[in-house]
Amino acid sequence: MADGFEDEVEPTISIGEYLEGVEEQELEADLVLVGDEGKECTYNKGYLKRQAIFSCLTCTPDGNAGVCTACSLSCHDGHEIAELWTKRNFRCDCGNSKFGEAYCKLFPNKDVENLENSYNHNFKGLYCTCNRPYPDPDAEEQVEMIQCCICEDWFHEEHLGLEPSDEIPRDEEGEPLYEDLICQACSNICFFLTLYPQTIRVTVRQPHVANSAKDKEVIENAPSSFASSEKQHGDCSADTSTGDSTSGAVSVGKGILIGQIKANTAVVLERSQTAGPSKTCIIGTNLLEAAPKPEKSKAMLFCKNWREVLCRCENCLEFYSQKRISFLLDREDSIAEYEKIGKQKRDEKLQQQQGQELSFLSKLGHVEKMEILSGIADMKNEIHSFLESFDASKPITADDVHQVFENLAKKRRRMP
């Protein structure tokens, strides 16, 4: 019985683990913000292809407005904010008619409403078909969600409408082996994707061998160079694939079978950019006259670069436009490409900071340089001594940190 009244031991982490966590958070922020330092409202830039968006539930509890990073910090500081990750084709609403008498401190001269903006229940701080917030205060464990590349809602894996035996493909480190998800609801709009060879999609079932009449027809209608450059575009498991590369699929842990993209789409892209839309449809179907199958729709997962395989004939382009999914043809629309740009800007920023530090040191005299380097060495030695003598079973407190710097200051004062 006595054990039941013992104080619970608070979880502790090492400094290395803490710093690693901070670095991961900084990386995640850089991938979302893509160099946006949050100093200027993005309204004047128009409807951006993709940007970080926030919903202020204090000002707009109905969830019918979104604000940019800068406005979330300057105009809505201290408010209840829902972080929405990124949204496409969105213009900052801060201070327009949806905010009543409140105005934007950064860019007050705005239209009454942004008519091209789209909103869903995410703007109320709710996600998935279960309509729950994230983080969920009632959940014992916070489970990561997956974003649909069409509606941009977020879903729990168990609410995707997959079969109980299905499993989201991931590598040994838990990273997803797919590029995009299309949720169960949006798969009705994107029914035409089932007309493409199975090899553009990721599945946990037995691989679909591309020898059916329909797949042969699609391949025959595609440009002759569609069968080349697999190495250039890769597949869903380019870093982890094993086995026979000619089988059309590879096995990645737990029997997960992932289709490979066997198409070089550079010819299709070049043709659409230079000669305009083609009259020949790759899938051999007029989507303007086609209708989705009455079968129950299912969520779909897609391989890397799958968007580049999409047909760009006149009818298909018109269909995309009518369904408002033309963004699928824009490489910069994808989250993968957006994060790639974010990583590039992060690397550029780090290189710039390193350059500034070197430039600062180069302007100092020899004595000043030695003092700075000596101070850094003393701090490292003091922290090392502290960690060697510290009881690893105890958490590090603020008093401990203050003591380290006091000891360092005393040593510096004793120096001649």
Confirm whether 111 is domain-assigned.
yes
Does 337 or 60 have the greater pLDDT score?
60
Q: Is the pLDDT of residue 354 over 50?
A: yes
Please provide the DSSP assignment of 155-168 as one string.
E-GGGS---TT---
Distance between CA atoms of residues 67 and 85, nearest Å:
12
**Considering only 25-34, 128-137, 206-215, which range has the smallest mean pLDDT?**
206-215
Does 294 or 373 have the greater pLDDT score?
373
Confirm whether 100 is domain-assigned.
yes
Range ranked top by mean pLDDT from 138-152, 282-296, 369-383: 138-152
Report cis status (omega within 30 of 0) of the bond before 207: no
Confirm whether 177 is domain-assigned.
no
Q: Is the pLDDT of residue 242 over 70?
A: no
Using CA atoms, how far residue 138 sits from 10, 42, 51, 84, 141, in Å, is 21, 35, 30, 20, 9
The per-residue pLDDT for 19 is: 55
Q: Is the pLDDT of residue 235 over 90?
A: no
Q: Is the pLDDT of residue 266 over 60?
A: no
DSSP 25: H
Distance between CA atoms of residues 72 and 76, nearest Å:
5
User: Of 209, 329, 331, whose CA–CA distance to 259 is shortest?
Assistant: 209
The per-residue pLDDT for 42 is: 95
The per-residue pLDDT for 16 is: 59
Confirm whether 187 is domain-assigned.
no
- Crossing angle of helices 366-389 and 398-414, in 10° steps, is 130
Tally of domains in the chain: 2
Its pTM stands at 0.67
pLDDT band at 89 (very low <50, low <70, confident <90, very high): very high
Backbone angles phi, psi at 342, to 5 degrees: -60, -40
Q: Is the pLDDT of residue 271 over 90?
A: no
Stretch 12-33: mean pLDDT: 59
Stretch 313-318: mean pLDDT: 95
Confirm whether 209 is domain-assigned.
no
Residue ending a domain, choose from 91, 106, 133? 133
The per-residue pLDDT for 15 is: 55
Residue ending a domain, choose from 100, 133, 166? 133
Q: Is the pLDDT of residue 312 over 70?
A: yes
Confirm whether 61 is domain-assigned.
yes
Percent of the residues in the chain that have a pLDDT greater than 70, as a whole number: 68
The per-residue pLDDT for 60 is: 97
Confirm whether 63 is domain-assigned.
yes
Distance between CA atoms of residues 23 and 388, nearest Å:
24
User: Of 26, 5, 22, 4, whose CA–CA distance to 13 is shortest?
Assistant: 22
Residue ending a domain, choose from 113, 133, 153? 133
* Domain residue limits at 75: 27-133
Stretch 85-104: mean pLDDT: 95
Stretch 142-147: mean pLDDT: 91
Stretch 181-192: mean pLDDT: 94
